[in-house]
Structure 1
Amino acid sequence: MATLKHIASKNSDYSAAETYLVYQHDEFSGKKILDEQSRPKLRESYILDTLECGEASFAMACLLANRKYDKNNHPDDIKSHQYIISFDPRDAAENGLTMEKAQALGLNFCKENFPGHPAIVCTHPDGHNHSGNIHVHIVIGSVRTREVERKPYMQKPRDWREGMKHSSTAQTMRHLRVAVMEMCQDAKLYQIDLLSSKKRVSEREYWMKRRSQMKLDRENAALLAAGQQPTQTEFETAKETLRKQISDVLDNAASFEDFSDRLLQQYGITVKESRGQLSYLPAGRKKFIRAHSLGDKFEKELVLATLKENAKSQPIILHNNLEEEPDRIKKLVDIQAKLKQGKGIGYERWAKKHNLKTMAQTLILLQEKGLLNEDALDQRIAELDTKFHESLAVVKDLETRMAENKTLRSHAAAYKQYRPLAQKRNAAKSPAAFEEQHRVELTAYRAAAAYLKANNITSLPSPNKLESEYCALASEKAQFYEQYKEAKSELLKLKDAKQNVALFFREEKQTQHHEREGVCV
């Protein structure tokens, strides 16, 4: 699976690029490795060619181009670009990839995609991770020395005109990734989709992990030598931790608001959207981390798509939540009590945000109801409580009467239907045989007769009359049930509002008390 990496350099010493490619360097310090006589050690194996340099060296060709077109005079100007194509380690053994073949692929890739630029193409047999991956370095001077044919991916004149500088834009990188994929396909090498990345690791993060892992390994070796067991064996960068935390929440959230709240509550991570892009702020950090630097999975489009899929897999839960209390006011969180229970700074940040939203909803509700006065609020709660219990009592009574009506209709129908059968049983020549043959029907008849006798019903009521009574009871129940629901809903909201106000002023009082103590001290 070939990968493509880009590095822009502001180093005005163009010979440094060739020196790095030819001589051995310490992978962490970047310094040349010296032999016993303090001379730089050549790499054990490499293939190096230059393009578009004429008779001059790469460094001289770049300097001449700068002078001719009056470019790269400022220290902050990008002087060169390096593209590294790393092939899959399996390609050497399984697909016959050699250094010579890789060099040929690199030369052709450079000719096709960087025409007009002085370039070095150098192939190494292995990377610093010692996985056996053959890789090609393509280093180009930033200034184009001749006008080239315009390609479809070229958007601006600087992309093809003479004397203009190469720019590694998103469009350019996309084209180059596609070119690498097509190159691997044509050469029958392993490949992956370079156009998407669930996890995006920068050069800086990669080296930080490697250095820190080596340091951790040394510390663990010392612990093992002392007879102690290490508690951590693998170093994890801050971004790796952030990716895991976001993934954990993303797999369970069903809406963006839920996603945002869970991140803040569980891990203290703030998420914001700016210009259509998401950024994340972990606890203890002042600067947001862009989703793009973490990977495609964490960007807005895929986050929303994942949340949408999660919502589809939880339709019943979401529906029930919406049906139960669509506008129920949430309760304030007693932050101090939670902190005493061991909650961390992430939970505290979420709780403060939650309390602000909840208190705003509480005040809006009380203002709409005209209940900003405490006595008026208590009086309204008492009225609703009475209405709630009265409506509930009526509903329960109506439900009982409806059940009795339903039972009576059932027994009356059974009595009327099976009475002729009971009369035939009495006149049958063999009552026992008749009984056995019609046991179910006769049992239902006797149960109906017993019910009618127990309730002193001597004549069967009209089925139509019973049906009408049942419908009237159901209609009356529906009316009182609506009153019951309305009273219950408003009662619960006002009780929550009262509790929120009480907790809010209690916290305010505690805060003022602490502030006064601080002033006195």
Structure 2
Amino acid sequence: MAATRLIALHINKGKTVGQCLADRTDYSQNEKKTDNGKYISAYGCDPRTCDEEFLFSKRQYEHITGRHQAHDVIAYQIRQSFKPGEVTPEEANKIGYELAMRWTKGKHAFIVATHIDRAHIHNHIIYNSTSMDCTRKFKNFFLSGMAVARLSDLLCLEHDLSVIDRRPYDEREKRTDFPKRPTYRDSICEAIDAALQKKPKSFEELIHFLQEDGYQYKPGKQPALKGPDQKRFIRFRSLGEGYSVEELAAVIAGNAEHRSKFQSKNRTGTGSMQTQNSRRMSFLIDIQEKMHEGKGRGYVTWAKNFNLKQRAEAMLFMREHKIESFEELVRRADEASGQADDFLNSVKADETRLQEIAVLKTHIVNFSKAKPVFDAYKASGYSKKFFEEHRDVLTLRRAAKKAFDEYLAAHPDQKSLPRVKELNAEYAEILSRKKKNYQSYRAVRKENEEWQIAKSLVAAILQEETRQEEEQRRQQNQEKSH
């Protein structure tokens, strides 16, 4: 287990760049802390003269590029602390060297000094902010400290060391819990919840209860409410799920159940999956196939390192999810896949039903509008001339009649067609359910992808171990035969 921290080193007030570099490097290479310099390694520089080499590269950078920054970062330091008793100084220095090499990609000179003067062995990694070719500077990006920690965890796994259990931000305990400031929309939703408790018999009565509480109502195409302290009206449709005019009307009519938005905020279930740490795993690269495609040695080297990192990511994934065996991993992956399929099937079924309701409502409206024309057509003795004059309306009525017959044939338990009001209530209920299931499906789909990739990676690791064991057994048999 290793804790890391990335620190940008600047020029101290009253000192030169050379003095600051010498102070930092001298402290890291303290003989008492490194067993007389035994646990010091370097890349692209000599540990004894690294401060001068760093300074020289910066002067070369200014000469080549012509750039000069007043408040420049002169170097970066990575502190890597290991769990007491888990690693030797030699191994700690080796891990620190690998961390610096991977982090800088071999483009920046660095030194690694392993301190053994504390109960916990720790590394001081100092790398030059200027590249070795003196043409670029290291670009410190957003959340780079977390990237260093992730890379350090991967290296610890590769060396069979433990890693820190980093919980997602949402699962951490907050030191100070500040009360959330209520919004105008939350206040209106609370007022609507209280008004619904009074069991209004109509939407108009619901509005009456709200007006008694001091709210102003603005009818029209987009009905809206305004509280006593509000400056502007807020539309019902912008209050969130369950608070639109159609949804509230369905609740009042008894065709749907009202769900307060404040209850849904405390809900647990599939939404908790979104708080899990998103990983960046990927399937392994088939190196042999890429070589047949004409890839060179450089790509092969990169692909081997990439596959090694993905295997380490998979082992880290299993450790974070407390999985002890491949069988348990397969079971959890199958559960995630089945859950994603269930949500997807539910969304597709709801989409089909929504289309059926929309088509049926259209036919009902067309049939109703065509009634006066059909009555006149019937009174004319079904005149062909009248039919040709009103062909469009009568054709829509005929199509609607055919659709009604097919609907009643498909639903033998229903003796008559549902009313438009009932269809509207059903449509609102199904639409609300579909939105929730689709949000859950998106969260579960991402998690399912991670489980499937992890299963594939671990299966490849086990297959490689089996192949190595068979190869070792074959060599032993050959040695015995000789």
Q: Give me the TM-score of the superposition, normalised by structure 1.
A: 0.36
Q: Give me the TM-score of the superposition, normalised by structure 2.
A: 0.39
Greater CA radius of gyration, 1 or 2?
1
- Give the structure, 1 or 2, with the largest relative contact order (CA under 8 Å, sep 6 or more): 2
